[in-house]
Structure 1
């Protein structure tokens, strides 16, 4: 026994479609893509590293480099002169003639904590010096 119900489609402008609307699926995939793009770099932070000695060629130093040194007692030096942390901006401005594009070479004793190095780099960045190079010993051939 079959029934056939006849609908009068006078007010219906849209025909019935049997196709799947993929727009919500695309939206979900884009959201997942963004989540994985943000989460993937964060997943590599906990990887333990034993960094090798650098075997890169030494770059030529400028005629009068601006060198900031960090001693094991966490004291800061610009060139040969010890400076107070509050006087960092004035000391570097005097050496660079106020040129904030000058490269600052940072030397740090290998026994200082990483936190002390970051404090110095943050202080340089706060003074407007963004070109910072870390100085290390030439390790020769690291093979």
Structure 2
């Protein structure tokens, strides 16, 4: 053992080989909370501008089922080339549901008037999906592409 001039023992300090991880854990938890709060905010409010073009018509093997919405919000049904008939929402749902169940591959489209309320067109889409229609398409008139 080593002694100093006063006769006291000198202790050699042992080196500590451990890493103190408590500050790192604190930093990690703070970062975790920050990312948990900000991650949902990153997906909200994304502004996109969809392209405007002339779409080519879809070629169908079967005659489609067409649900029309007039400017007043009334619903009309045309089943594979038959006469167009005015129906209530319940009648439309029952008729289209039964027809699509017997013909599952038939295409179903909604033809909304340009002056029709957008909410009525969306309600018609939801009505058709609740009736068992797997895919609903929207019809439009061909027009000129917007020049930029």
After TM superposition, the score normalised by the length of structure 2 is 0.67
Which deviates the most, 113-122 or 22-31? 22-31
- Judge conservation of contact 1:71–1:109 (CA < 8 Å) in 2: yes
Could you list the runs of 5+ residues in structure 2 that have no partner in the other structure? Answer: 1-10, 79-83
The 3-state SS of whatever aligns with 1:105 is strand
Residue 60 of structure 1 and its aligned partner are, at CA, apart by 1.1
Equivalent residue number for residue 45 of structure 2: 43
Over 3 Å counting, the alpha-carbon distance change for 1:19 and 1:93 in structure 2 is: closer
- Judge conservation of contact 2:100–2:133 (CA < 8 Å) in 1: no
Equivalent residue number for residue 78 of structure 1: 77
> Based on CA coordinates, which of the two structures has the bigger radius of gyration?
2
Residue 57 of structure 1 and its aligned partner are, at CA, apart by 2.1
What is the root-mean-square deviation in Å for CA atoms of aligned residues? Answer: 3.5
Could you list the runs of 5+ residues in structure 1 that have no partner in the other structure? Answer: 1-5, 7-13
User: What CA deviation, in whole Å up to 9, does each residue of 1:87-122 have, x standing for no partner?
Assistant: 122221344353455431111011112211111111
The 3-state SS of whatever aligns with 2:109 is strand
Residue 140 of structure 1 and its aligned partner are, at CA, apart by 3.6
- Judge conservation of contact 1:70–1:108 (CA < 8 Å) in 2: yes
After TM superposition, the score normalised by the length of structure 1 is 0.69
The structure, 1 or 2, with the larger RCO (C-alpha pairs under 8 Å, 6+ apart) is 1
Whole-angstrom distance in 2 between the partners of 1:137 and 1:126: 27
Equivalent residue number for residue 17 of structure 1: 19
Whole-angstrom distance in 2 between the partners of 1:101 and 1:39: 40
Over 3 Å counting, the alpha-carbon distance change for 1:114 and 1:87 in structure 2 is: same
- Judge conservation of contact 2:97–2:131 (CA < 8 Å) in 1: no
Aligned length: 132
The 3-state SS of whatever aligns with 1:43 is coil
Over 3 Å counting, the alpha-carbon distance change for 1:116 and 1:78 in structure 2 is: same
Equivalent residue number for residue 10 of structure 1: none
